[in-house]
C-alpha cells in the first residue's frame, strides 16, 4: 500500500509546485514511510510515498518511469505474475523488477484502459502519458483504494490518496451540506462521488478518469456488475454452488496471502472471519500468520472467549481497547478519517493495526468485509420481500437508527432523498447491490483504508474478489435465507470445518459497548449544551435534549443518532475549524 499525489496544469512556478507536492507527500507519509519520490515535467508533478510489500528492493520505488509513461500506484495486483507471464510470452516484454508496479505500467502500455479488465486486485493509480500529455487515473472495482480530486479556480487539477493531500495543497475546507444531510437523514456517506467537502470529489469505484493538458476531463464507469452476470443463471443445486463458490473463496485467499512481509488476520467469533482464518491457515505455514482479536473488556462484547481454544496452537493476540479516554481516541480517529466515522468497532480495528505493527511488525492483514452483503447476512434482508427497497434500514438490528425529528428545520430545507437504483429483477439482488456498491461496503472500505494506512499497514479483503461477488448473484434466495437467518448455505458448508459458535451463533446486532458508553457520558451532555453545537443550526437543540433524555431512559434501541451528533461536532471542531 502506498499514497500518491498529482498536480496538473498549474500556473504556479516550478519551485512552488515542488514545495507543494512535498507538502502533499508529507501529509500522507504514514501511507508509505519506506520511500518518498517525485517526478516533474512542464505540465505535471507526481508524488509518491511507498509502503514496501512485494519486491522490497529500491528498483520498485515510485514514481516509476519508462520512455512513454510515468506511474504512481497504490494497492496490490494479486494476479500480476500471470499478467507478467502473458506480457513476456506474447509481447516479448522484459522486466527489471519483481513487483506488480512495473507489470501494471506495461499492461497499460499494451492494452490501455482495457488492462483494467485483466486486473484482480485492490488499486488506485495515475499514469501520465508523456507524449500525449494525458493523465489516466483508475480505481478498483469496489473502491478498496481511494482517489480524491479537485480543481482550483485557475484550472489546476490536484488529486491525492487522501483528502489531507488536497488540503496540504491549500484547498479550502468547506462543508458539503448535501452530504451532511444525506448522512444525518438517510445514514448515507458520500454518494455518487461526493465527499463531506464542497468541491472535493472521489473517483468512484470501478471508474476511470482521463484528463489532458487542456483540462478536458472524461470520467467513465468500466465495471458493470450487471453486464458481468447478465448471461449467468442461478445455481440449480447446492452442490453446484458449493463446488464453484468454495473454490473461489480458497483461490482468492490464496492469492492474497502473497507477501514479502509479515501476515495477520483479524479474527472475531463470527462466521466470516472464521472462514477467512481457516482458509488462511490451510494455505500458509501457521508460524507465518498471526490472528488478532479485539475486546472491550466487557463479557457481553468479549469475542476472545469463543476463539481462544481454537487459536491456542496458533499465533494469536488478544487486544484490549477503550476506557475512560475513549472520546480522545474517537477524536483522533475522526482527525485521521477527515469525516464522521462509523462506530466504536473502528476503535478495536485501529488497536489491532497499531499493536500488530508495533509488537509483531505485521504489515499485511486479511479482513472479512463483504460476505454479509453477498449472503444476506443482515437482519433487514428478511424484510426485502415485503418492504420497498428505498425504505429498508441500513443499520443491523433496528429501524430507528435515524432520528430526523431532532434536525433544525432550516437544515432540512432542499433535502432530496437518494433513490437507489434497482438494476435486478428481485428485491434481494437489488438490496445486495445497494449494500455492495452504494452504502455499506463503500463506507466500510473507506474507514478500513485510512485506519490501516494510519499505522502504515495494508488491509486486504479477499471476500471482495470480483469473481466471488459475481458468483454470489447466482445464489437463489433459498440458499441464503432460511428460518429468519442469513448465510444459510454458507453456514451449512462450514459446519463440519469450523467451531460450532462460528456457524450456529446468530449474527450479533451490537458488537461494542457504544450504547452504554454514550448513554452514561457527561461528555455528550456537555457537548449538546455547548455554544458551538447550538450555533451550527444543524440540530434543534430543544429536541436534542429531549431525545437524549429518552435515550438514557431506554426508549431507543440504537445509539447511531447519538453517534451522529458526536461525529458531526468533533468533525467541525477538528477538521473544518482547525
Q: What integer pLDDT is reported at residue 279 of this predicted model?
A: 96
Q: Which of 235-239, 281-285, 516-520 has the lowest mean pLDDT?
A: 516-520
Q: Are 268 and 352 in contact (CB under 8 A)?
A: no
Please report where in the chains the cell 478519517 appears, as a residue: 337
Q: Are 83 and 93 in contact (CB under 8 A)?
A: no
Q: What integer pLDDT is reported at residue 399 of this predicted model?
A: 60
Q: Are 88 and 80 in contact (CB under 8 A)?
A: no
Give the pTM. 0.95
DSSP annotation of 555 reads -
Q: What number is the average pLDDT over the span 538-554? A: 90
Q: In what order do the strands lie in the sheet with 201-202?
A: 35-40, 44-50, 2-8, 157-160, 148-151, 201-202
Q: What integer pLDDT is reported at residue 552 of this predicted model?
A: 86
Q: Which of 387-391, 448-452, 462-466 has the lowest mean pLDDT?
A: 387-391
Q: What integer pLDDT is reported at residue 299 of this predicted model?
A: 75
Q: What integer pLDDT is reported at residue 33 of this predicted model?
A: 96
Topology at the third CATH level for domain 251-514: Rossmann fold (3.40.50)
Helical residues (DSSP H) of 455-538, grouped into ranges = 466-472, 477-480, 488-494, 500-504, 514-519, 522-528, 531-535
49-62 CB burial, b ≥16 within 10 A, e <16: bbbbbbbeeeebbb
What CATH code would you report for 2-192+200-223? 3.60.20.10
Q: What integer pLDDT is reported at residue 286 of this predicted model?
A: 83
The 10s digit of each residue's pLDDT in 196-228 is 999 999 999 999 999 987 888 999 999 999 999
Q: What integer pLDDT is reported at residue 554 of this predicted model?
A: 79
Q: What integer pLDDT is reported at residue 509 of this predicted model?
A: 53
Q: What number is the average pLDDT over the span 144-158? A: 91
The 10s digit of each residue's pLDDT in 468-509 is 999 999 999 999 998 888 999 999 999 999 998 888 876 665
Q: Domain spans of the chain?
A: 2-192+200-223, 251-514, 515-576
The 10s digit of each residue's pLDDT in 2-22 is 999 999 988 889 999 999 999
Higher pLDDT, 491 or 518: 491
Please report where in the chains the cell 466500510 appears, as a residue: 444
Mean pLDDT computed over every residue of the chain: 92
Higher pLDDT, 281 or 560: 281
CA distance 375 to 449: 23
The yes-or-no verdict on residue 510 having pLDDT over 60 is no
Q: How confident is the model at residue 42 (pLDDT cuts 50, 70, 90)?
A: very high
Q: What integer pLDDT is reported at residue 432 of this predicted model?
A: 96
Q: What integer pLDDT is reported at residue 400 of this predicted model?
A: 58
Q: Quick one: 476 exposed, middle or buried, by C-beta within 10 A (0-12, 13-18, 19+)? A: middle
The yes-or-no verdict on residue 356 having pLDDT over 90 is yes
CA distance 43 to 333: 36
The yes-or-no verdict on residue 524 having pLDDT over 70 is yes
Q: Reduced to 3 states, what is the DSSP secondary structure of residue 136?
A: strand
The 10s digit of each residue's pLDDT in 305-343 is 889 989 988 999 999 887 667 889 899 999 999 999 988
Amino acid at each position: 500500500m502506498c499514497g500518491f499525489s498529482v498536480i496538473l496544469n498549474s500556473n504556479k512556478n516550478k519551485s512552488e509546485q515542488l514545495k507543494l507536492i512535498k507538502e502533499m507527500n508529507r501529509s500522507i507519509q504514514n501511507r508509505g514511510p519506506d520511500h518518498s519520490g517525485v517526478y516533474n515535467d512542464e505540465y505535471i508533478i507526481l508524488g509518491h510515498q511507498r509502503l514496501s510489500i512485494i519486491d522490497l528492493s529500491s528498483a520498485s520505488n515510485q514514481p516509476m518511469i519508462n520512455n512513454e509513461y510515468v506511474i504512481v500506484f497504490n494497492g496490490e495486483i494479486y494476479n500480476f505474475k500471470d499478467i507478467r507471464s502473458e506480457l513476456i510470452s506474447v509481447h516479448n516484454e522484459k522486466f527489471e523488477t519483481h513487483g506488480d508496479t512495473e507489470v501494471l505500467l506495461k499492461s497499460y502500455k499494451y492494452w490501455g484502459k482495457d488492462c483494467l479488465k485483466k486486473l484482480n486486485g485492490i488499486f488506485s493509480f495515475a499514469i501520465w502519458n508523456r507524449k500525449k500529455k494525458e493523465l489516466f487515473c483508475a480505481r478498483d472495482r469496489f473502491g478498496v483504494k481511494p482517489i480524491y480530486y479537485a480543481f482550483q479556480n485557475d484550472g489546476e487539477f490536484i488529486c491525492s490518496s487522501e483528502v489531507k493531500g488536497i488540503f496540504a495543497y491549500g484547498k479550502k475546507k468547506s462543508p458539503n451540506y448535501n452530504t451532511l444531510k444525506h448522512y444525518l437523514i438517510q445514514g448515507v456517506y458520500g454518494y455518487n462521488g461526493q465527499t463531506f467537502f464542497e468541491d472535493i470529489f472521489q473517483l468512484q469505484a470501478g471508474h476511470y478518469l482521463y484528463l489532458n493538458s487542456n483540462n478536458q476531463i472524461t470520467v467513465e464507469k468500466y465495471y458493470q456488475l450487471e453486464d458481468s452476470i447478465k448471461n449467468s443463471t442461478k445455481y440449480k443445486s447446492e452442490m453446484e454452488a458449493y463446488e464453484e463458490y468454495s473454490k473461489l473463496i480458497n483461490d482468492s485467499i490464496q492469492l492474497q496471502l502473497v507477501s514479502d512481509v509479515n501476515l495477520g488476520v483479524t479474527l472475531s467469533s463470527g462466521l466470516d472471519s472464521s472462514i477467512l482464518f481457516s482458509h488462511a491457515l490451510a494455505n500458509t505455514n501457521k508460524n507465518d500468520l498471526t490472528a488478532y482479536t479485539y475486546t472491550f473488556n466487557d463479557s457481553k462484547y468479549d469475542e476472545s472467549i469463543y476463539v481462544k481454544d481454537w487459536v491456542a496452537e496458533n499465533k494469536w493476540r488478544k487486544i484490549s481497547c477503550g476506557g475512560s479516554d475513549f472520546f480522545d481516541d474517537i477524536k483522533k480517529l475522526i482527525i485521521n478519517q477527515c469525516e464522521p466515522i462509523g462506530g466504536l468497532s473502528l476503535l478495536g480495528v485501529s488497536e489491532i493495526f497499531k499493536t500488530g505493527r508495533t509488537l509483531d511488525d505485521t504489515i499485511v492483514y486479511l479482513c472479512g468485509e463483504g460476505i454479509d452483503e453477498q449472503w444476506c447476512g443482515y437482519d433487514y434482508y428478511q424484510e426485502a420481500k415485503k418492504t420497498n427497497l428505498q425504505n429498508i434500514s441500513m443499520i443491523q438490528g433496528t429501524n430507528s437508527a435515524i432520528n430526523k425529528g431532532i434536525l433544525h428545520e432550516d437544515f432540512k430545507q432542499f433535502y432530496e432523498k437518494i433513490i437507489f437504483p434497482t438494476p435486478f429483477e428481485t428485491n434481494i439482488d437489488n438490496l445486495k447491490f445497494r449494500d455492495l456498491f452504494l452504502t455499506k461496503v463503500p463506507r466500510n472500505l473507506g474507514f478500513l483504508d485510512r485506519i490501516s494506512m494510519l499505522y502504515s499497514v495494508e488491509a486486504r479483503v479477499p471476500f471482495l474478489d470480483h469473481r466471488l461477488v459475481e458468483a454470489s448473484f447466482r445464489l437463489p434466495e433459498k440458499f441464503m435465507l432460511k428460518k429468519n437467518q442469513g448465510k444459510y448455505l454458507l453456514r451449512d458448508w462450514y459446519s463440519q470445518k469450523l467451531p460450532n459458535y462460528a456457524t450456529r451463533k446468530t449474527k450479533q446486532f451490537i458488537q461494542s459497548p457504544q450504547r452504554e458508553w454514550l448513554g452514561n457520558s457527561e461528555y455528550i451532555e456537555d457537548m449538546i449544551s455547548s455554544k458551538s453545537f447550538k450555533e451550527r443550526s444543524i440540530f434543534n437543540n430543544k429536541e436534542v435534549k429531549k431525545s437524549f433524555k429518552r435515550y438514557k431512559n431506554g426508549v431507543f434501541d440504537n445509539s447511531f443518532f447519538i453517534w451522529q451528533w458526536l461525529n458531526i461536532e468533533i468533525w467541525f471542531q477538528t477538521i473544518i475549524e482547525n
